Structure 1
Amino acid sequence: MDRNRAELVALGALGWLAENDLLDAFMNASGVDQDTIRAAAGQPEFLGSVLDFVLMDDAWVRGVCDAQALPYEQLMRARMVLPGGDLPHWT
């Protein structure tokens, strides 16, 4: 997966959060507000944080992937391409 595709997947995940009334949960967890989301939606670092949030819950992963017709492992692959995604996972 290339970076452009990863960013599109993450933008789709952000849209899915909004459509499924989870945007408030994301904002509470990340400390951002709607203005920050609008300003940062094109930044790869921010998009990585969106995927980090979605990856916390298997049901969310399934929902995002089903909405975008993606295999379930694609979210993790997209996350690995965006900044910070190459950090080691200790779990």
Structure 2
Amino acid sequence: MTRQTAETFAAQVLAWLADDNARITGFLSWSGESPSTLAARLTDPGFLLAVIEFLMTDEALLIDACAALGYPPETPLQARSALPGGADFHWT
């Protein structure tokens, strides 16, 4: 997955989160963001990484998002790896 594809996926996930008050409230609480800053942060790779990481905190949410957006469930991990700072760390 390319960085651009990962960024597009993260933006789609954010839009999907925003379509439901409970989902977006959960993200805002988890991230510390405010509704007024979301649009401005869409070009920030660190913010987009946070969107993906939030999605990955809840398997049911991840599966629902991927199904709604038409992506396979492994897409968030692939997107995370393609974004700056999202590479998996191996401690062994």
Gaps of 5+ in 1: none
Structure 2 counterpart of 1:86, one-letter code: A
Q: Give the TM-score of the pair, scaled to structure 2.
A: 0.89
Structure 1 length-normalised TM:
0.90
Identity of aligned residues (%): 37
Shift of 1:9: 0.6
Q: Which residue of 2 aligns with 1:56?
A: 57
Return the alpha-carbon distance in structure 2 between the equivalents of residues 35 and 11 of structure 1. Answer: 16
Q: Where does residue 11 of structure 1 map in the other structure?
A: 11
Kept in 2, the 8 Å contact 1:12–1:64? The answer is no
Per-residue deviation, 1:20 = 2.6
What does 1:71-82 align with in structure 2 at a 5 Å threshold?
Answer: 71-82=72-83
Helix, strand or coil for the counterpart of 2:78?
helix
Q: How many residues align?
A: 90
Q: Root-mean-square deviation (CA), in Å? A: 1.4
Pairs within 5 Å for 1:9-88? 9-21=9-21, 22-88=23-89
Q: CA–CA distance in 1 between the matches of 2:27 and 2:75?
A: 20
1:34-74 deviation per Cα after TM superposition (whole angstroms, max 9, x unaligned): 12212101211100000000100011111111112111001
2:49 maps to a residue whose letter is G
TM-superposition CA deviations, 1:20-39 (whole Å, max 9, x none): 32111111111110122121
**Cα gap change, 1:43/1:59 in structure 2, threshold over 3 Å: closer, same or farther?**
same
